[in-house]
Structure 1
Amino acid sequence: MEPLGIVFTEIGPDFLRGTMPVDRRTKQPYGLLHGGASVLLAETLGSVAANLCTAPGEICVGVEINANHLVAVREGTVTGTARPLHVGRRTQVWEVRIEDELGRLACVSRLTLAAVPHRTPASAEG
């Protein structure tokens, strides 16, 4: 997160929001926001939000993510907002909408996560 400048900016009862700059770190060779950077922002927001909703002793891990890139972004900052579509005992599905500074929808992503028992590194070895 930190190397790409992702910052959490707001949390609400049903959302988590964060920003990411569109700069040399997040652009592809043609000067546009890299689709992979958008997916990274989406998975970061969705995963953190999901983990805020897990039962004690569990963590949520990504199972599948998809993204549709809708508007090219060349500069500025994008803002992603993660909202739950389904929060179950074993699975969660989150939608992340990423907008540019003009409020245009640049990317929409859906992330599916599984709730699994949390293991410390020592217990994972044994």
Structure 2
Amino acid sequence: MKIEIAEMRAREKLSSLLSKSMTSGFDKKLNLTYLEVRSARVHATVSVDGTLHQPAGIVHGGVMASIVEAVGSAGGYAWLIDRGSEDIFVGTTNTTDFLKSTSDGVLEAIGEPIHQGKRSQVWRIEIKQIETGATICVGTLRGQNIPSRQRG
């Protein structure tokens, strides 16, 4: 019973953080919506509009890199919460390879861990355009698990 309550509290904490980010944080500016956030998989969508375009009329590369960062960070944090940790996960290296441009529609991002360790995690994120199924970019986010005692 204690374990179930702890897991429920951990899920509520994650849900609260994601909800806040989607309603008033940077994720809102990206039009990012989390559909699933687990320690082994993150699924999110982004509705593309003109606010995400560069001057040439296509989605800005920084938007794609930001989606990689957001999705990988959500998964990294979910993994820490699932372990009962008070640590936080922060991205330290974001590598995003752009394969195809897009200017509209809905993007789907799927993130999965490559490595989850005591001090670091590495996540791979693939972003596709839902309407065509085309892979738009692939990114890797390396991050550090920061112990709560080191924050401040």
Q: Taking structure 1 as the reference length, what is the TM-score of the superposition?
A: 0.89
Give the corresponding residue for 1:4: 30
Secondary structure, aligned partner of 2:79? coil
Alignment of 1:4-23 (within 5 A): 4-11=30-37, 14-23=40-49
Matched, 1:98 2:127: yes
Which has the bigger relative contact order, CA under 8 A and spacing at least 6? Answer: 1
- Rounded to whole Å, the distance in 2 between the matches of 1:27 and 1:80 is 18
Choose from 142, 148, 151 the match for 1:112: 142
* TM-score when normalising by structure 2: 0.75
Q: Within 1, Cα distance between the matches of 2:36 and 2:47?
A: 16
Answer 1 or 2: which has greater helix percent. Answer: 2
Change (3 A) 1:78 1:93: same
- Is 1:62 matched with 2:62? no
Q: CA deviation at 1:119?
A: 5.5
Unaligned ranges ≥5, structure 1: none
| Aligned with 2:57 (options 2, 20, 31) | 31
Match of 2:23 in 1: none
1:41-80 alignment runs, 5 A limit: 41-54=67-80, 55=83, 56-80=85-109
Deviations 1:57-112 (A, max 9, x none): 21111110000000111110111111000001111000000001211110100000
What is the RMSD computed on CA atoms of the aligned residues? 1.7
Look up the SS of the partner of 1:62 in the other structure. Answer: strand
Counterpart CA distance in 1 for 2:135 and 2:126 is 7
Provide closer, same or farther for how the CA distance between residues 95 and 57 of structure 1 changes in structure 2, counting only shifts above 3 A. same
More strand per residue:
1
Q: Which runs of 5+ in 2 are unaligned?
A: 1-26
**Partner of 1:108: helix, strand, or coil?**
strand
Matched with 2:22 is: none
**One-letter identity of the residue aligned with 1:62:** G
Q: 1:82 aligns with which of 111, 116, 121?
A: 111
Q: Distance in 1 between matches of 2:45 and 2:149?
A: 30
Q: Structure 1: which amino acid aligns with 2:109?
A: G
* Superposition misfits of 4+ residues, deviation over 3 angstroms: none
